[in-house]
A and B are shown apart, each in its own frame.
Chain A
Amino acid sequence: GAGVSQSPSNKVTEKGKDVELRCDPISGHTALYWYRQSLGQGLEFLIYFQGNSAPDKSGLPSDRFSAERTGGSVSTLTIQRTQQEDSAVYLCASSLPLRGTREFFGPGTRLTVL
């Protein structure tokens, strides 16, 4: 596609439920990132995928968070047993695997945990 897409755009869930957030990167971009942006804050790195290499999961805040990337393209971020503090905008970005290249961001998913 022309850009990075994310779905859903907004998600409201009840505390304790599991949620899945989807990211479709730009075709040909082997690098994919997930970030979390809490209200009025900067972006917090969550996880990084690069091709077939093992992902860098160092930013995941707890074991309730996990992410997969199937076929080197689409990625799913899963949050289990959601908590109110998980409420945030989750942004996905993709890029070419070049050190100085820019990242292209999706529009984000706003997650609200009631």
Chain B
Amino acid sequence: AQTVTQSQPEMSVQEAETVTLSCTYDTSESDYYLFWYKQPPSRQMILVIRQEAYKQQNATENRFSVNFQKAAKSFSLKISDSQLGDAAMYFCAYRTNYQLIWGAGTKLIIKP
């Protein structure tokens, strides 16, 4: 069965610094998609970044980038120049067909 593990229940970072959130997953599939979603207190789930497993190049979206290690089944999220608005729960998710499998989330705290 596919599983997604986020080992950091909470992380804190100083504003303007860089932080990395960890995610590992377990699957026997070779073709799949990985996502990072952000959930602020408003509850609205917002897509941060997406990675296709067949692409070796790491996805990047402005200050957000991933380190995708397919052999190690690792998919970490790096946030550069952290801003107060980045404070939220961050969820890693995996999908092969239509169902998303979610990690338990990491609460990110930004210190001003």
Q: Do A and B bind each other?
A: yes
Q: Assess the B104–A108 pair: CB atoms within 8 A.
A: no
Contact of B98 among A31, A44, A102, A105 (CB under 8 A): A31
User: Which residues from chain A contact B46 at a C-beta distance below 8 Å?
Assistant: 105
Main secondary structure of the interface of B (DSSP, over half): strand
Given the contacts A43-B91, A100-B52, A102-B35, A108 and B43 also touching, CB distance less than 8 Å: yes
How far in angstroms is the closest Cβ of chain B from A31? 7
Q: Assess the B102–A42 pair: CB atoms within 8 A.
A: yes
Interchain CA distance A53-B87 in the complex, whole Å: 39
Q: Show the binding face of A for B, using Cβ within 8 Å.
A: 31, 33, 40-45, 48, 50, 56, 89, 91, 93, 99-100, 102-103, 105, 107-108, 110
- Which residues 3-44 in B have Cβ within 8 Å of A in the complex? 4, 33, 35, 42-44
Main secondary structure of the interface of A (DSSP, over half): strand
Interchain CA distance A89-B100 in the complex, whole Å: 17
Q: Show the binding face of B for A, using Cβ within 8 Å.
A: 4, 33, 35, 42-47, 50, 52, 91, 93, 95, 97-105
Q: Assess the A103–B44 pair: CB atoms within 8 A.
A: no
Q: Assess the A56–B42 pair: CB atoms within 8 A.
A: no
Contact of A42 among B43, B95, B105 (CB under 8 A): B105
Q: Assess the B99–A103 pair: CB atoms within 8 A.
A: no
Chain A residue with Cβ nearest B92? A42
How far in angstroms is the closest Cβ of chain A from B40? 11
Given the contacts A100-B33, A100-B52, A102-B35, A45 and B43 also touching, CB distance less than 8 Å: no
Q: Assess the B99–A48 pair: CB atoms within 8 A.
A: yes
How far in angstroms is the closest Cβ of chain B from A41? 6
How far in angstroms is the closest Cβ of chain A from B112? 24
Given the contacts A45-B99, A50-B98, A89-B43, A102 and B50 also touching, CB distance less than 8 Å: yes
Interchain CA distance A100-B50 in the complex, whole Å: 9
Chain B residue with Cβ nearest A105? B45
Chain A residue with Cβ nearest B37? A105
Chain B residue with Cβ nearest A31? B98
User: Which residues from chain A contact B99 at a C-beta distance below 8 Å?
Assistant: 45, 48, 56
How far in angstroms is the closest Cβ of chain A from B68? 14
User: Which residues from chain B contact A99 at a C-beta distance below 8 Å?
Assistant: 33, 95, 97-98
